[in-house]
Structure 1
Amino acid sequence: MKSALTPIAVSFSRIQKTAHQGQALRRRVQARSLTGVQPFDLYAANHLINENAKCGRLDIAHQLFSQMPHTNIVSWTALISGYAQYGHADECFGLFSEMLFHIKPNDFAYASVFSVCDYKRGVQAHGLALKTGCDGLIYVGNALVGMYWKNGSNSGAEACRVFEEMDIRNLITYNSMITGFGMHGQSDKAISLFKRMFYDGVDFDRVTFLSLNSSICGLDNVVGRLCCSQLHCIGVKIGLGLDVGVATALVKAYSSVGGDVGDCYKLFLETTSSQRDVVMWTGIMTAFSERAPQEALLLYNQMSREHFRPDCYVFSILLKACSNLMTERHAAAVHSQVIRVGFVNVPVLNNALIHAYARCGSIDDAKQVFHEMPLRDIISWNSMLKAYAIHGDAEAALNFFKQMDVVPDDTTIVALLSLCSHTGMVKEGTELFETMLEKYGVVPQLDHYACVVDILGRAGHLTEAKKVITNMPMEPDFVVWSAFLGACRKHGETRMANLASSKLKELDPENSLGYVMISNIYCSSNNFDQGGLMRNKMDRFGIRKEPGLSWTEVGNRVHEFASGGQRHPWLEAICVYLEELLRQLKKIGYVPTTSLVLYDVEEEHKEEHLYHHSEKLALAFSLMNAGGTFSNGGVIKIMKNIRICIDCHNFMRIASIFFQKAIIVRDANRFHHFKEGACSCNNYW
């Protein structure tokens, strides 16, 4: 039984609250309370155990507990909670088991044990809670929900069962469930539970709001943008609109579901400079890194002017932005900053540098970073392997793979399969796919299936590719069907293309790929009526095709070109130059591939349409300004947002002979290095 509160107990309690004045005083108080100098006082002893346990002095707390002539529920719970607080699962569970021989656990003891135990122990403790009738207590129920989300199946079935069986639920219960759904990729269930919580009149808080924003990142773009807008409105109504953490979460959510980066920037501007922290800055730079990388670098400059010290994550985002830019000079500038602040040997940044340099076309710089790394992990090897793959250097990639001193993982296999796809190594690619589980212990996932479908499809083995899709143990995703549709287009297979196109429309109704590619297949076979019908459907549904754009850097300035040339002020001069260039190239073997023109027009108009493809305009502009102000060492670099067409590929190849210049074109899939009439892809892409 708990002893009465005596004056000596009160005095001990007060002394303990001021015991931070010195360790000597604390030791005197402990000795006085547990020796025969004064009568033993349970209240004071429990207070000592609780304070030491909370402060992490678990050995002292346990020693005090062991010396007590008798204990009560408070004594046991204080020590168990201390071990749980500092993550000592074995000691916590052992003490809880010992407690059962002396006293019945209360809800706080159960909650502490559930917070640190694994699944097996958690189930045992859950069974005990059911027997003793403690499972209906709110603290126990909340702790059980958290335990099952942490240790149970990814579906969260056990957590859901506990949630539904609870007679009383509070905000913590709902927050635990919403967070669990979000962390396990069940975003739709997290949103549904929030609606239920909202309609049931349960007030939500900042934690709810942040968890929901994280969940939105897993939704598809259409639903995700709608949920973002709704949550944003709710946040403003309840006064969370100006909270920097909420604003950061909204920026991340908007950008992850394809929201307008302009909206993200408006959110950013709604916070004051004094409110912003490095996490907020990182969030807005992340939003811009892919769709407006130049703006991400400008934001970094602004952050520096406001005297924020960048961390490793900031630099990794900057390097991600650099990987989406034309040349390596921006990556080199960030590299110098990394060295200046002392992050030179941080593996995550070196891995990001390898990726950035490779994506900017400078594989030599990527190799140098790799070879200078004192420590390399699997990501380092995979980054370098992917670099060789996108540049089409099959021999170097295979030799590099043989030198790997770490165990290959699923990403390694994806890089190798991608290399086989780009270089036409059908036998090697299919053998790797069939033996990857046996040789490397890697279970085939969606990315691996997409690669092998691409390998077979590009090579014209469409029936085999279709068989792979049919036999997949999981549902094919957008990438798998788009790989198959691309193969159907390459080989003019209309029947199978219709199936792939319909699947793409089901998976992502807003994406134009399924409509555009099937329309192109019809037009390539001179079925312009069917091709036109597909384009009309796109117009009716408000679906817009991504325009063909190209970029080239001249005089440290990036110039953008669209097919037709509408985006450049020098269009007239470029077209005049291009017409003369075309005449010269025709003399040495260039023949326009007019079969690619997807309109039923005269042959001369087809040629005219081909002449205004964006990459041809970019090349002409670079050559017009070839007085030493473009690119690196006489190499012309062009970046394109979609796949380069056969005609432009031939045009670049012949131009590299005529001008005796290296031309590098980076399209949506890979790099094409044109030199002396040959391409690194060996005309297979």
Structure 2
Amino acid sequence: MAAAAAAAAAVSSVRSHIPDSLLAALSSAATFPSTSSFATLLHACSHLRLLLLGRSLHRRLLLLPPSPSPFLSNHLLNMYARCGRLDLARHVFNSMPLRNLVSYTALLTAYVHHGLHDLAFHLLPRMLPHHIPNEFALAAALSSCTAACHPLRGYLLHALATKTSLNINPFVANALITFYSTTDVDSAWLVFCSLPTKTLVSYNSMIAAFLRNHQPGNSLALFGQMHRASLPFDRATLLGVIPSCTDLRHCGQLHCLAIKTSSLLEVEVATAFVKSYSALEGDFDEYYKIFCGAKDHDIVSWTGIMTSCADKEPEKAALLFHQLRHEGPKPDRYTFSIAVKASAGFATARYCSSLHPLVLKSGFGDDTVVLNALIHAYARCGSIDSAEHIFEQLMDRDEVSWNSMIKAYAAHGRGKEAIRIFEDMVKHVAPDSATFVGLLTACSHGGLVDEGRGIFKMMYEVYNISPQLDHYACMVDILGRNGNIKEAYDLIDELPVRPDSVIWSALLGACRKHGEMQIGEKAAKKLMELEPKNSIGYVMISNLYCESGNLGDGAFARKEMKVCGVKKEPGLSWIEIANRVHEFSAGARRHPQRELIYVELYKLAEKLKEMGYVAQTRLVFHETLEEDKKDRLLLHSEKLALAFALINPSAVVGSVRIMKNIRICEDCHNFIRLASKCIGKEIVVRDANRFHHFVDGMPAKKSSPNSCIKSLWSVSRSNSRKKWWVPVLAAKYENVLKSGDELFFLSGLCTVRMAILFLILHLELIADAETSRRHLHAPQIASTEQL
């Protein structure tokens, strides 16, 4: 560190003092530096980007007879190129009476460095009549062909390299490997094998070529060959081979090598390991330790560790974002987008609403990437009106913006709105494959069968987009929901690719809904072959048997599931009451208010019976009494969550929002639909597939508005001086702390450091809760001047 500081001080001194002293000396008539002195000074100007001094030296050279030699002219050309003045570099080159190989190579390299690939390639015909390109010129020209995606030019340069016997030169060979990695990896391998002496750079280039062409096995095999030959490896080798790991065993072996060579301390290597462990579903504790052990974290490493847990463990992503704000560099647009994406995984929109003003305060209120993430997060948390408002205010919409809004409407069962958005979209941007997945999903959830058929046909006939498995799965769901089981099965039978588990699951669900036994058995068999450890196939075919009266086969299917060690995911529901998230499982035996919940639930059930509710006991497949079946249905987790909301009426403002981890059953759907009329409130249930809105005993066409979002947006546009405090603690964590389970929860965090961060976060929330609530939930904002 001391050496680095001294070097920085020396460079600063050179920049601030030497130019003035040199200019003063050069202005003296008696000062005539020699050719070597001029060359040294020009080299210094090039290295330190001192354009002013370089131009002064150029003027001084022009005063000296005769004109500058090719040696000095080449130094001038290189100096202007390194300082970013290609126009002056080209002027020096054109004014040279004699140009040597160095002159051409310097200008060609400058063109490539600044992305002027056509000029670089067209310089070669001017060069060839006078000079044969050397390895540096050919390597630069090949890198230009790689960057500009010009395979024909690369082939011509390969022929030229072979003719001049430079194809086995390490510089040229590495450039050829990199070039062929974008066109034909087999040719890259032939170039690599033809090298008489393979350097570390050659191995690194070939490993990167295999990785770029999705051949991780070959990357690992080549690295194993290096290791067995005791060849050294460096950071670039690890960065090429770590993403090639296809299982945790390989990743662990590379991890050990990185520890042994101290490479794990480098932040780029640590970030690569974090991404690899995350992709392989490794232990978060393990790769969080890797992250903490690296030196000099940059924003890329922070974004990488947050991305690794944003989907499956959003709570940890929230904590890491808080740690970044206090310890790390300033978050950029991608970091904010990952933090917002993680907020979509929480049970309520409160964390997303707290991030929104922070986004505006940080200057990303007009950033399309971040706002697209906000649209997705608000829609995923149930605040569809907030997502709509952001979309309406977004000026620079890209295809992701439109797709996010289409998928938002699809998740809320608003198919016609999704189609309307699509009609507006095609006037501005071209739809892509993801657009049609969202549209077909919207048609499926909205029951729009004819529209779905038309959209599927339009996708490949009008927009020339070939259907993929996702599109076929949506079509099977559309047809199956409408009872067209045979048509859906025929569609699967005609697929040009092998159907995946999603397609068979959609068909099996439709068979269960409509009681189609024969096709259902085939779908279940295919599903269990593809995913033998997934409980969906066993449970759905068992339910299909039982609903058709075949209790024996239904029991056998469940027994086979136990024998195979497959466990059914338990149904859980969450509801936020008074800024605390409560979790319910079937029966709610551990909830401290379970007795009050049971009383309220039975009272509600009696009222609903008077309105026509009949418990669908056919959905209970245990051989028990009818009354026991009714009790089992009544104690489903979403019904318990609803009853808990009813015993806390003052804490429920607006609609009742319930989140569920699996699909809502048919009985609960009918129960909650009637309950919305009985209690006079909108009830919103988000299950594993979509949102269900119920108002006055019927499915709602539009979700309830979020009042704070428009105020937040108007404040960000009109008053940038407003100071916001945004607590980032999730409601789920607050619930754990206030319920007295602090020690139990903290013991579950991966490190003591994260536990301490969590406690700090909680204290900040307590200290500023009122301020945040006043800012985020003010009933109205009269004017921006008052703010």
TM-score, scaled relative to structure 2: 0.77
Give the counterpart of 1:17 among 20, 43, 54.
43
8 Å contact from structure 1 (residues 183, 215) kept in 2: no
Give the counterpart of 2:261 among 229, 238, 253.
238
Give the counterpart of 1:122 among 131, 149, 154.
154
- Cα distance, 1:92 vs structure 2: 0.9
Q: What is residue 408 of structure 1 aligned with on the other side?
A: 431
8 Å contact from structure 1 (residues 523, 599) kept in 2: no
Worse overlay, 648-657 or 98-107 = 98-107
- Cα distance, 1:527 vs structure 2: 4.4
Cα distance in 2 for residues equivalent to 1:307 and 1:562: 39
Q: What is residue 203 of structure 1 aligned with on the other side?
A: 232
Q: What is residue 356 of structure 1 aligned with on the other side?
A: 377
1:96 and 2:121 aligned: no
1:379 and 2:400 aligned: yes
Worse overlay, 121-130 or 498-507 = 498-507
- Cα distance, 1:136 vs structure 2: 2.2
Q: What is residue 140 of structure 1 aligned with on the other side?
A: 172
Q: Against the structure 1 CA distance between its residues 441 and 134, is the aligned structure 2 distance closer, same or farther, given a 3 Å change threshold? A: same
Q: What is residue 4 of structure 1 aligned with on the other side?
A: none
Alignment-mate amino acid for residue 459 of structure 1: N
8 Å contact from structure 1 (residues 550, 641) kept in 2: yes
8 Å contact from structure 2 (residues 379, 408) kept in 1: yes
8 Å contact from structure 1 (residues 421, 458) kept in 2: yes
Cα distance in 2 for residues equivalent to 1:22 and 1:302: 40
Q: What is residue 677 of structure 1 aligned with on the other side?
A: 697
| CA root-mean-square deviation | 3.1
8 Å contact from structure 1 (residues 393, 680) kept in 2: no
Cα distance in 2 for residues equivalent to 1:132 and 1:368: 64
8 Å contact from structure 2 (residues 49, 83) kept in 1: no
Cα distance in 2 for residues equivalent to 1:661 and 1:228: 52
- Cα distance, 1:502 vs structure 2: 4.6
Worse overlay, 33-42 or 380-389 = 33-42
1:398 and 2:419 aligned: yes
Task: List per-residue Cα deviations over 1:558-584 (Å, max 9, x = no partner).
Answer: 111223435534344433433343333
- Cα distance, 1:652 vs structure 2: 0.7
8 Å contact from structure 2 (residues 347, 574) kept in 1: yes
Task: List per-residue Cα deviations over 1:268-299 (Å, max 9, x = no partner).
Answer: 4445xx74333333233323322232343333
Worse overlay, 82-91 or 172-181 = 172-181
Cα distance in 1 for residues equivalent to 2:41 and 2:358: 53
Q: What is residue 294 of structure 1 aligned with on the other side?
A: 315
Cα distance in 1 for residues equivalent to 2:527 and 2:217: 21
Q: What is residue 149 of structure 1 aligned with on the other side?
A: 181
Give the counterpart of 2:107 among 63, 79, 83.
79
1:649 and 2:669 aligned: yes
Tell me, what secondary structure is at the counterpart of 2:606? helix
Cα distance in 1 for residues equivalent to 2:530 and 2:669: 32
- Cα distance, 1:22 vs structure 2: 6.4
1:112 and 2:140 aligned: yes
- Cα distance, 1:36 vs structure 2: 7.8
Tell me, what secondary structure is at the counterpart of 1:309? coil
Cα distance in 2 for residues equivalent to 1:410 and 1:525: 39
- Cα distance, 1:97 vs structure 2: 2.6
Q: What is residue 368 of structure 2 aligned with on the other side?
A: 347
Alignment-mate amino acid for residue 413 of structure 2: G
Give the counterpart of 1:640 among 654, 657, 660.
660
8 Å contact from structure 1 (residues 34, 45) kept in 2: no
Alignment-mate amino acid for residue 541 of structure 2: I
Q: What is residue 651 of structure 2 aligned with on the other side?
A: 629
1:249 and 2:291 aligned: no
Tell me, what secondary structure is at the counterpart of 1:241? helix
Q: Against the structure 1 CA distance between its residues 396 and 61, is the aligned structure 2 distance closer, same or farther, given a 3 Å change threshold? A: closer
8 Å contact from structure 1 (residues 286, 296) kept in 2: yes
Q: Against the structure 1 CA distance between its residues 604 and 228, is the aligned structure 2 distance closer, same or farther, given a 3 Å change threshold? A: farther
Alignment-mate amino acid for residue 178 of structure 2: G
Task: List per-residue Cα deviations over 1:422-477 (Å, max 9, x = no partner).
Answer: 12222221121112222233332232222112112222223322332333333333
Alignment-mate amino acid for residue 452 of structure 2: G
Tell me, what secondary structure is at the counterpart of 1:103? coil
8 Å contact from structure 1 (residues 213, 228) kept in 2: yes
- Cα distance, 1:113 vs structure 2: 0.8
1:466 and 2:489 aligned: yes
Q: What is residue 198 of structure 2 aligned with on the other side?
A: 169
Q: How does 1:354-503 map to 2 (within 5 A)?
A: 354-404=375-425, 405-406=427-428, 407-503=430-526
Worse overlay, 639-648 or 409-418 = 409-418
Q: Give the aligned length.
A: 662
Q: What is residue 252 of structure 2 aligned with on the other side?
A: 229
- Cα distance, 1:645 vs structure 2: 0.8
Cα distance in 2 for residues equivalent to 1:21 and 1:239: 34
8 Å contact from structure 1 (residues 34, 67) kept in 2: no
Task: List per-residue Cα deviations over 1:332-379 (Å, max 9, x = no partner).
Answer: 221111122222111222222222221221222122212222332222
8 Å contact from structure 1 (residues 141, 163) kept in 2: yes
Q: What is residue 605 of structure 2 aligned with on the other side?
A: 582
Cα distance in 2 for residues equivalent to 1:582 and 1:21: 79
Structure 2 portions without partners, runs of 5+: 1-32, 703-787
Alignment-mate amino acid for residue 517 of structure 1: M
Structure 1 portions without partners, runs of 5+: 1-6, 217-222
Worse overlay, 344-353 or 129-138 = 129-138
